[in-house]
Amino acid sequence: MRDARVVGQSAGAGDVAEAADLLGGVGCQDRGAGEAVADRGVAERTAAAKAAEAYARRAGAQLAVDRQAVPSAAPWSLAPGPSPPLTYSPTHLRDAPVVDRLAPPSSNGAAIAAAAPTGISVVAAFLRNVSCVGDWLNSRGYGMARRPVAVIAAGEQWPDGSLRLTVEDLLGAGAVISELCAECAAPLSAEAAAAKAGYEGTADVPHAIATSASGRHPAETGFVEDVVIAAHEDVCPFVPVRDGDSAFIPG
């Protein structure tokens, strides 16, 4: 979380921050129009579930749990009661009942969004909504020298809480930068140019994601469809934007 806070605070270098988190909690943002995702970061992965549960109670949100914490017969139901938790697995969420607010525990993408300074817009992006995010940013004049954008590849965490860079989030960030550059000619940082080149130079993005360390893990634990869903481009019409309660709502 220490790294996530530093990265999130660096978002203040732009007028808007865009976080690319393809396989994490932020990556389930295309649940549907009108459904806020109260996605708050926490200090350690082991504390993520408790922090998400506390925030869900406080914000009146539906709790989401780890994709392996639910039974296969009813993948969105874990405990008895009127409001059982949902899993943040995209495969499960696709068939689960729609709720008003969803709180998935996420220890990096959400932590970056929560740590970003107030007063700037924070947008959640992934391959599924990359064109919509590009259009949203361009239509508001972002991406020009006078209105810079901080594009952040969220990454994951090692067990000690330090940042683990991921190829899927680098490709997602590169995809957003590529979209922005198609509409404007603002100068890029060396890091942004490298991410853009990485995305544009990858012949088979879904294969690269599926064979990466982050892509192999869900597949090996029975969630290969989550990786397939995350790698689909331009199938989501929503742009999740952080609101004043640190929830993501359709922008």
Region of 177 on the Ramachandran plot (φ > 0 left; ψ -120 to 50 alpha; else beta)? alpha
Residue 107 — very low, low, confident or very high, per pLDDT cuts 50/70/90? Answer: low
| Three-class secondary structure of residue 58 per DSSP | helix
Q: pLDDT tens-digit profile of 56-90?
A: 787 777 777 776 666 555 554 433 344 455 666 77
Q: pLDDT tens-digit profile of 159-215?
A: 777 888 899 999 999 999 999 998 776 789 999 999 999 999 999 999 999 999 888
Q: Which residues contact 208 (CB under 8 A, 6 or more apart)?
A: 167, 168, 171, 202
Say what the pTM is.
Answer: 0.80
Which of 23-27, 80-84, 89-93 is the least confident region? 80-84
**CATH class of residue range 2-245:** alpha beta
Dihedral sign for Cα 150, 41, 158, 23, please.
negative
- Taking the C-alpha atoms of residue 28 and residue 36, their distance in angstroms, rounded to an integer, is 11
